[in-house]
């Protein structure tokens, strides 16, 4: 048993087994991070569902129903018959201008922050004369009196007041619901009726006060779509198919401008029935919170195995180079302290800024491990050395998570540097002749443990 105790290869095997065992609670920490993130998402969803979800504006566009007659064989009577079917001609605007002011604010559900907003939009533009002849539609089959102008709004709870359409010289109130579900399933419509003529171009204008949360998106239905957004939110993320042509983000908020042509998207200005997926061309902005502590905590947790390996390697070389003996149970306790660091980081980051949470968690963990090392090795210099080495490791990981674009590069260089140091300090060790600790120190530690 004594020979087994001082056998270096047996000790290395024990360390490897301990690292593998500690991977189990480490994976549980990752699951805990995901669980807490799901709780946050549920809180956001609950607040958003009552206030108004993220909004997507589709349109406006004109829907004109018409009749088409087709020849069909009637199997029952064995005759050909003429059948009338109802179809829809969709017409998109020639010019679409959207100007919006977004006023976000933070709401709270427990400890979780939710970004909601109120917005004021002015939507204007023009339609060219209706060209139905390109689809071989007869004018007498078109129901101009049933034509509607539709505006898709993804969450109707966000509408704050009655909306009226200024259509050329007429003012038409909007009703709830779109005329069909072929382009958008939720929204509002204005009955154009006698105000629509096939040979006339039309201008339109409407004001829209809309509540929502997290994000606002648009579908570029105009032959030329021009969108201007302003807000006092200073951490936007521009998302979707198109980035702004120009933007400005500072501490006072942001302004963004998009100009999108019909050539930039994959659907025409007019078509019949549902043939195109317009939502694939959406664009807009997300109102991001400045800190996403769960993603950062998960990124830190991804380096847990590296932490364990490097820390155990440090302790192993302390044993080898200083001729002391560290029991596997002591390795295990140090490993558990490293795992607890991640739960400390996660819990603190839910209440204080992430950087402060990282600093507090690291100081607590480093203090515990270095004090424990000083006690078991009865050497303050070795305890301070462990504190210094682990401080460098924690600082290294913190630097990596702050540099997303260069994380792989910095991490690779760091690991390579550590490997160089290990190879340098172990270059003269005779591994075959080496035994863990010396007999005198091992005996003293054994006697001390028995007396305790």
pLDDT, the chain, mean: 84
- Write out the two tokens for 38: 């799901």
DSSP string, 354-385: HHHHHHHHHHHHHHHHHHHHHHHHT-HHHHHH
- Of all residues in the chain, what percent are helix, strand and coil, respectively (each to 5)? 45, 30, 25
Question: To the nearest whole percent, how much of the chain has pLDDT over 90?
Answer: 33
Full 3-state SS string of 55-100: EEEEEEEEEEEEEEEEEEEECCCCEEEEEEEEEEEEECCCEEEEEE
Span 59-89, pLDDT tens digits? 899 999 998 887 776 666 667 777 778 889 9
How many CA atoms within 13 Å lie on the side-chain side of 49?
A: 7
Q: Which residues pair with 103 in a beta bridge?
A: 118
Q: When comparing pLDDT for 148 and 421, which is higher?
A: 148
Span 157-210, pLDDT tens digits? 999 889 999 998 889 999 999 988 888 889 999 999 888 876 778 899 999 999
pLDDT in the model for residue 187: 94
- Write out the two tokens for 3: 């020979």
pLDDT in the model for residue 403: 73
Span 374-420, pLDDT tens digits? 888 888 888 888 888 888 888 888 888 777 667 778 778 877 887 88
Mean pLDDT to the nearest integer, 286-298: 79
Buried b (16+ CB within 10 A) or exposed e, 163-194: bebebeeeebebeeebbbeebbeebbbbbbee
Q: Is a pLDDT exceeding 90 seen at residue 313?
A: no
Q: Is a pLDDT exceeding 90 seen at residue 47?
A: no
Instruction: Work out the pLDDT band at 294, boundaries 50, 70, 90.
Output: confident
**Sequence-ordered list of residues with C-beta below 8 angstroms from that of 125, at least 6 positions apart, any chain:** 60, 93, 94, 95, 96, 97, 203, 204, 222
- Write out the two tokens for 206: 């409407």
Span 235-264, pLDDT tens digits? 899 999 999 999 999 989 999 999 999 999
Q: Strand, coil or helix: what is 317? A: helix
CA distance 295 to 335: 23
pLDDT in the model for residue 433: 65
Residue 3: left if φ>0, alpha if ψ -120 to 50, beta else—which one? Answer: alpha
């Amino acid at each position: 048993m004594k020979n087994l105790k001082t056998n270096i290869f047996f000790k290395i095997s024990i360390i490897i087994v301990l690292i593998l065992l500690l991977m189990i609670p480490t994976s549980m920490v990752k699951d805990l991070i995901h669980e807490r993130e799901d709780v946050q998402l549920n809180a956001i969803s609950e607040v958003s569902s009552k206030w108004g979800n993220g909004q997507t504006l589709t349109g406006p566009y004109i829907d004109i129903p018409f009749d088409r007659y087709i020849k069909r064989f009637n199997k029952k009577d064995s005759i050909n018959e003429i059948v009338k079917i109802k179809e829809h001609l969709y017409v998109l605007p020639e010019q679409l201008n959207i100007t919006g002011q977004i006023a976000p604010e933070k709401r709270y559900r427990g400890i979780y922050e939710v970004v909601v907003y109120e917005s004021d939009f002015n939507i204007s533009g023009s339609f060219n004369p209706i060209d139905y002849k390109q689809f071989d539609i007869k004018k007498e089959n078109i129901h101009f009196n049933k034509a509607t102008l539709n505006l898709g709004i993804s969450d109707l709870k966000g509408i704050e007041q009655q909306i009226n359409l200024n259509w050329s010289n007429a003012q038409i109130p909007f009703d709830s619901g779109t005329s069909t579900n072929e382009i958008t399933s939720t929204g509002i419509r204005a009955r154009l009726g006698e105000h629509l003529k096939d040979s006339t171009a039309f201008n339109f204008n409407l004001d829209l006060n809309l509540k929502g949360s997290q994000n606002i998106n648009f579908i570029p239905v105009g032959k030329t779509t021009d969108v201007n957004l302003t807000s006092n939110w200073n951490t936007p993320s521009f998302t979707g198919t198109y980035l702004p042509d120009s933007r400005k983000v500072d501490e006072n908020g942001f302004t963004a401008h998009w100009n999108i042509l019909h050539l930039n998207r994959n659907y025409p200005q007019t078509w019949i029935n549902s043939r195109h997926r317009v939502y694939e061309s959406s664009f807009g902005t997300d109102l991001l919170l400045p800190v996403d502590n769960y993603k950062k905590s998960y990124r830190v947790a991804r380096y847990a195995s590296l932490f364990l390996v490097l820390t155990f390697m440090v302790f192993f070389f302390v044993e080898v180079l200083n001729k002391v003996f560290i029991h596997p149970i002591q390795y295990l306790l140090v490993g558990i302290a490293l795992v607890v660091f991640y739960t400390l980081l996660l819990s603190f980051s839910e209440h204080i800024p992430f950087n402060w949470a990282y600093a507090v968690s690291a100081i607590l963990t480093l203090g515990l491990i270095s004090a424990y090392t000083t006690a078991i090795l009865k050497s303050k210099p070795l305890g301070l050395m462990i504190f210094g080495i682990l401080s460098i490791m924690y600082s290294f990981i913190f630097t990596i998570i702050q540099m997303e674009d260069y994380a792989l590069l910095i991490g690779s260089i760091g690991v390579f540097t550590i490997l160089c140091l290990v190879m340098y300090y172990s270059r003269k060790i005779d591994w075959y002749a080496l035994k863990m600790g010396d007999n005198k120190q091992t005996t003293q530690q054994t006697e001390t443990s028995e007396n305790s």
